[in-house]
Structure 1
Amino acid sequence: MTFRELHHRAGPPLLLPNAWDVASALAFAEAGFPAVGTTSFGVAAADGSPDGGRASKAATLALARQLAPLPVYISADIEDGYGDDPHRVAAYAESLGIDGINIEDSSDEKLIAPELHAAKVSAIKHRVPGLFVNARVDTYWLGQQATVVATLERARAYVAAGADGIFVPGATDPADLQALTAGIDAPVNILAHPALTLTDLGTLGVRRVSTGSLPYRAAIDAAVHVASAVRDGRTPPPATPYAEMQQRLLRFTEAIRE
């Protein structure tokens, strides 16, 4: 299946795990996930920067180019496109050389005019027609205009501009999700939620579920747990053997050379 077809196939929604470096992306790929995304929070944090503020631009570009050879589809979180000019945003999206992007309609924790975001989406699709553009609506995420009506208005403008999917992080109420999926003529993506299984979300019409920064944050917690266990005389949890992870990286580097 193509990346686009994964969003329209029968069954539960596409689960997109979000990586923050090559090693995490390799692990997701070897676990059988057909597509892997990046997380702007994880990428920025691993680089020593807070999320947002367009801090992850260079690191995201570098990571996307590293991951492009993987035998899975790759989608990158590019914040707001790292700029206000639609044509420069489109040029950046093209330079990634991957299968999809998320691009959000907020900057500096504030919603931007939907017309500007629609112009970015349109410019990207004009320049890179085959790129899956997942237009993010941050109404619920930021608690600004967080209503079904306002969210649908923005989402429909982005679909009209050419968006292939709509991402509504922060939306969790089943009634809202059902109204959003029914009112948007494109696959709807949300963040994973502990109270809603993939089957539940599929029933509500959701077609893609992202893990966001959860794996990165959980990995940091796990690392502290391991170190604390050793310090406190407890048995640390099991981990993938060094040799196995080393071989994974060797296969990756060999594939790049070919």
Structure 2
Amino acid sequence: MLPIIYGGSGATPVFIERSANIKQAVEAIVTSRAYDCGLLPATEQYLIAEGVIASEVRGLLQTNGAHFLSKEEEYKLLALLQPNNNRINPMCVGKDALWLAEKAQISVAPTTKVLVSEQHYMHDEDPFANEMKCPVLAFYLEPDWMHACEKSIRLLKEKNNGHTLAIHSQNKSVLKEFALKKPVGRMIVNAPASTASLGLESTLPVSVILGGYTTGRGISAKNITAKDLTYVREISYPVESLTSTNGIDEAQSTVDTKVLEKILKKIMEK
């Protein structure tokens, strides 16, 4: 059987932590979500913010072209987006915010780039938690970064299969905790997720095929490049011959062997 590549589009959770450059973060998120009408892989869909900065985030979102939906407007939009079984209406895929608002009979400013639904909590019946391939954001508030961490994990596991996570923060401890604990293929820091995930102006390999699972399915959860699509033939020589030929330090060779043995032992235990 040939190896399988799972390249998903993803619906990325993005967290704005209180130490972030909030203005820069909001601009990046709105621009990223609106770009190509939300069709790029790993585009932000779930915006999580700490309660202490909620007012500032709301204001900046509106300044940058976000329209916050009322409950009545949410019902109208959902009737258009997901008329049957919580599945996205194909007619709405890749449409901009103004088109969606017009078809749903929602009055918005002509500068509107994204439509935002503020949710108090996440639950299985919440249609805004489903992946939407159009510029719609679900906005969640959490009291601190630890609760935001748990919300991100739940979104990644239940709705996103560990595709991509984005975070805006200057706190190195928070960044470390998110990086270590999240079941995710890639984490985007202080950048628009839609473009940075593709390797544009980021340290990730340039690719439009993003591994979409961190659950052991498919050949990889990382950015898939040409190197991943090739078979590699290798040649092995005894360590002794390399030592005598290249003058490799014997003590170092012994240490390397012990490290390798430990790694193999852990692999066998799993």
Q: TM-score range by the shorter chain?
A: 0.3 to 0.5
Q: Rg: which structure is higher?
A: 2
- Kindly indicate whether structure 1 or structure 2 has the higher relative contact order, using CA contacts under 8 Å at least 6 residues apart: 2
